[in-house]
Structures are given as C-alpha cells and as structure tokens.
C-alpha cells in the first residue's frame, strides 16, 4: 500500500489539469454561459427538471465545515476565484454552490445570540444545541465545571457511526484539539482545556481530562480511524517543545496502536499506507493559511484526498461505509484578524477540497454536505462596478467613491476589528507590513495586498463572530431533505436519517418527503 496516496493524487491532479481546470464546469453546463441571460435561465430549468430524485439511503457521508464561512464570505470568495481566472467574478460559482439542494441554518447557542464554534459544532454532531464553550456536553452543564459532567455527555455522529460498523475520520486545518474538530470526539465543559497544562490542579483532581488525551484514550479507542490537522504541541512534552507536563501522547499513540501510523509532515502523508488508526499532526499549532503554506505541510485538498483514499480502502467490499468530517478552519482565523484576503483564499481552498471529494465519490451512495458553524461581521457594499476588484476600493464608473470624510473605502469591511485603528499617513506598497485603519487612505492604496486589513467600524484586537444565518449546500442520498430554514442541530438528525443510523432518540421512520 506504500506510496498509493502520492501516486493517486498526482493522477487526479493531472486529470484535472488535462480537463482545463480543477474547477472545470460540469459537462451538462458546458457552453451554456455564453448565451443570453434568458436562454441561460431556460438551460438551468431544463437541467433541474431532468435531475433524478436522490435516494434516501446514503452509504457514506462527507461533511465539510467552513469555520466562520458566512454568506458574505461565500459571495466574496466566489467573485475572487472568478477574478483570479480572468472573469468579472460575479458569474462564478464555488464548486459546492452548484449542488442541487441548499438551506439556511440558524446558529445561536442556548445561552448566546452570537455563537462560538464549540456550541455550534456540538449541535451539528450531536443533534442537541448547547452552551458556548462546551464540547458535546448538554446545556444543563455549567461551563468549565467537571462536577456532574459525565451525566450530560452527548454521543457524537462519529461515535454512533463507529459503534455501527462505519469507518470514521476528522480532518482540519486548525489544531485537532481546537473547538470544531474536538467536538467530534471529545466531551468537555471547557473548549480551552486542550492540553493537561491548561487544567488547574483542582480540575484534574475532579476528573477533568484534557482534549488531546481524549483523542488518544477515547477517540481512537472508540473506533476513530483517522485524525489529521495541527496542534502537535498539545500532544508533546514541554521538554520536547510542547506544552504537556504529564506524558508524550504521540508515544502513547504508537505504543497503544502499533498497527497505526503517526504522521508529522506532508512527506509522511504522501508515503503513508491505508493502515489505521492514523494520527496526523502537521504543525505545532494551527496549520498555515493556504497563502502562507510551504511544502512542509499538506494542503486541505491533499488531506481530504488522503483521508478519502484510506476510508474507501477500509470500507471496500463492506456494506458499511464511512463518515468523514472536514474543517476549513482558517477562514475563521483570518476573519478574526480582519484580513479578508486570507479568509477568502482559504474559502477557495476548501471549495477545491469539496471538488476533490465530489469527483472521488459516487452521487448514488455518498451524501456531501457543506456548511458553516457561524458567520462573521464581513460586509459587502458601496455600489462598486461589475467586475470591480473584490479586495479593492469601491469604484463606480472606474472612480473611487468617497465617504463623507472625503476618503475612499473598500468594498469589503467589518463591523469591528483591527481595521478601525487610525494611523498617520503611510504609502502602502507590496512590501509593507499589515496596514491598520482606513483614515487617511488614498486612491492608490494597495487594498489587494495579502497583509491588508479591511476597514472596520469598531476597534477591537480581534473581530467578532456574527449572528446571522449561514448557508448549507448538499448533494447525494438524503440531500433533498436539506431545504428551507433549519435549526443547526437538525443537521445531525438529517444526516443520521440518511445513513440509517440508530441513535439514542430514534429518528422517525418516515418517508424522506415528510422530513
């Protein structure tokens, strides 16, 4: 099995390039976009009318989660990708935006109007909305308290799938112990307890277990087949450059699972076999933004491809398939920094990973769901011309529009964050560090620089999440149930129903059209 990943990946990329683009249009749409708008609409109608109804039973599930991937992020990323390909941009579609079914999703936590990733991802993978900051623990539990915690643990989608014979995996560009991926396998009342050094002596004495330890002792022990991402420091002792003070969990993993594989680099990923369990820790903390990534770390596309190869090998010839959860995590982190460039390029990278997964699987047996856990405060405004640089100044008829203070403004902005700071006049070039603030901007400022901060209304060292609904796109068996406005926890119930999983509260055995 050695080297199967790198060989297959090269073949897939080569095939895509031969077709013209990794983001090539589906065959049914080829040539349809040069026609006038009305004929284009007629072509879309004809296509929709001939689409067969999906089956209701999925063998496999791939759930993509773009952390912080708001609707505005999708719109801006779609335009940026199109502009990178030489188009005006607005007519472009991200790969998953062509999926036949879509919905809006409400994101609030039980105790917060504006949510965090722990509570939202817990809702998605357990079917129960809960408090912010807690991972797969019911809302009855108090945050950062171990007392009574065990009574409120919620079984996750991956745990149910493993119990019922399915292969499972989680992939992320964040630390594996960060809130979103951790919710798939860990149970804790505090998302910040990533390593044992994050817990107080009292918490440890009360039986609290850090998230990294739970991945080894509970995640893999309960059937998790693979986990890939960053966060090595939370598994390694302080004496070896980590933050742990008790034991080296990478050594524990190799001792406890001698048949498994521990991966520490992109090269390791390319030369791995299909033996499981697999623990991939490719960075000390979060993995690099796609713009900053070098060859030492795999891309989200490469991790997606490798994970699917492994899970498909594990389930070949079996009636039971797999459940794979993939997080494009750094969209969220770039938004927190007020840096639209990196947020959008990481959203585009996730769209390419979705495209890989779509082309590696069969619509007849694999349900693919793409959504977000919450939004951000990114806005898109200013009456810019069609095809205006999405990362640039808002221009009408080619001229920068001005605010009442006489200064130009960017098309994209944030409600709060670093971009509200004001600095003395400074010429921006492609070599300058990040530029804070809007005033006193000028018409030749380089807003497209990867290190540029978009304007913000309220000054904060970190931009906040938003409270608005997020989008969901789906295709494959059961995808027809994702429509309208959904409560976030129903994603768990709909995916469980599509997989025919038995859960603690059985999903009603009714026809898909009634769900």
Quick count: other Cβ atoms within 10 Å of Cβ 139?
17
* Residue located via tokens 């560090």: 433
Contact criterion met (CB below 8 Å) for 141 and 152: yes
Q: How far is CA 212 from CA 216, 223, 246, 254, 435, in A?
A: 7, 16, 12, 15, 36
Contact criterion met (CB below 8 Å) for 64 and 370: yes
- DSSP strands (E only) in 141-247: 167-175, 226-230
Rg (CA), the chain: 23
Give the integer Cα–Cα distance in Å for 147 and 152: 10
Give the integer Cα–Cα distance in Å for 463 and 70: 14
Quick count: other Cβ atoms within 10 Å of Cβ 436?
18
Crossing angle of helices 117-126/490-499, nearest 10°? 30
Check 70, 95, 102, 117 and give the catalytic one.
117
Question: Both ends of the chain: CA-CA distance in Å?
Answer: 42
Look up residue 255 and give its two tokens.
């001792």
Strands 101-106 and 484-487: parallel
- DSSP strands (E only) in 348-454: 366-372, 375-376, 378-380, 395-396, 399-400, 412-417
Catalytic residue at 117? yes
The sign of the dihedral angle between the CA atoms of 147, 150, 155, 161 is positive
DSSP string, 334-364: HHHTT-HHHHHHHHHHHHHHHHHHHHHS-TT
Give the integer Cα–Cα distance in Å for 401 and 408: 6
Q: Which residues are catalytic?
A: 117
């Amino acid at each position: 099995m050695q080297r199967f990943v790198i060989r297959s990946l090269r073949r897939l990329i080569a095939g895509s390039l031969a077709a013209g683009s990794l983001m090539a249009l589906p065959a049914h749409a080829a040539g349809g976009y040069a026609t006038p708008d009305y004929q284009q609409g007629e072509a879309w109608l004809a296509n929709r009318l001939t689409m067969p109804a999906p089956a209701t039973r999925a063998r496999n599930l791939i759930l993509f989660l773009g952390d912080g991937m708001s609707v505005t992020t999708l719109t801006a990323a779609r335009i940026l990708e199109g502009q990178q390909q030489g188009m005006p941009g607005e007519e472009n579609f991200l790969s998953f935006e062509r999926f036949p079914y879509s919905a809006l999703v409400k994101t609030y936590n039980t105790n917060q109007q504006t949510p965090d990733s722990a509570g939202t991802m817990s809702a998605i993978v357990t079917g129960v909305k809960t408090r912010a900051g807690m991972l797969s623990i019911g809302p009855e539990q108090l945050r950062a308290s171990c007392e009574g915690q065990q009574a409120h643990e919620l079984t996750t989608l991956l745990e149910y799938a493993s119990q019922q014979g399915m292969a499972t995996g989680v992939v992320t560009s964040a630390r594996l112990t960060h809130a979103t991926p951790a919710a798939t396998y860990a149970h804790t009342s505090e998302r910040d307890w990533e390593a044992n050094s994050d817990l107080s002596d009292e918490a440890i004495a009360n039986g609290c277990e850090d998230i990294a330890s739970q991945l080894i002792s509970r995640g893999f022990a309960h059937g998790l087949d693979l986990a890939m991402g960053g966060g090595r420091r939370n598994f390694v002792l302080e004496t070896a450059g980590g933050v742990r003070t008790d034991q080296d969990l990478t050594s524990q993993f190799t001792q406890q699972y001698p048949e498994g594989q521990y991966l520490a680099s992109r090269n390791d990923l390319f030369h791995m076999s299909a033996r499981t369990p697999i623990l991939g820790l490719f960075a000390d903390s979060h993995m690099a933004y796609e713009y900053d990534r070098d060859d030492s770390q795999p891309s989200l596309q490469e991790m997606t491809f490798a994970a699917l190869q492994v899970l498909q090998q594990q389930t070949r010839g079996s009636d039971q398939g797999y459940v794979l959860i993939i997080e494009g995590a750094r969209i969220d982190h770039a938004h927190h920094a007020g840096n639209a460039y990196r947020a959008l390029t990481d959203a585009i990278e996730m769209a390419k990973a979705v495209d890989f997964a779509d082309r590696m699987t069969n619509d007849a047996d694999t349900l693919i769901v793409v959504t977000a856990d919450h939004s951000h405060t990114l806005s898109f405004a200013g009456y810019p011309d069609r095809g205006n640089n999405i990362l640039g100044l808002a221009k009408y008829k080619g001229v920068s529009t001005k605010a009442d203070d006489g200064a130009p403004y960017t098309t994209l902005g944030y409600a709060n964050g670093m971009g509200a700071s004001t600095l003395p006049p400074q010429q921006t070039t492609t070599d300058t560090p990040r530029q804070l603030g809007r005033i006193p901007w000028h018409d030749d400022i380089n807003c497209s620089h990867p290190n540029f901060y978009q304007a913000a209304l309220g000054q904060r060292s970190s931009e906040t999440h938003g409270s608005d609904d997020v989008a969901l796109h789906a295709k494959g068996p059961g995808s027809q149930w994702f429509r309208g406005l959904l409560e976030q926890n129903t994603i768990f119930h709909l995916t469980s129903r599509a997989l025919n999983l038995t859960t603690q509260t059985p999903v009603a055995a009714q026809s898909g059209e009634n769900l």
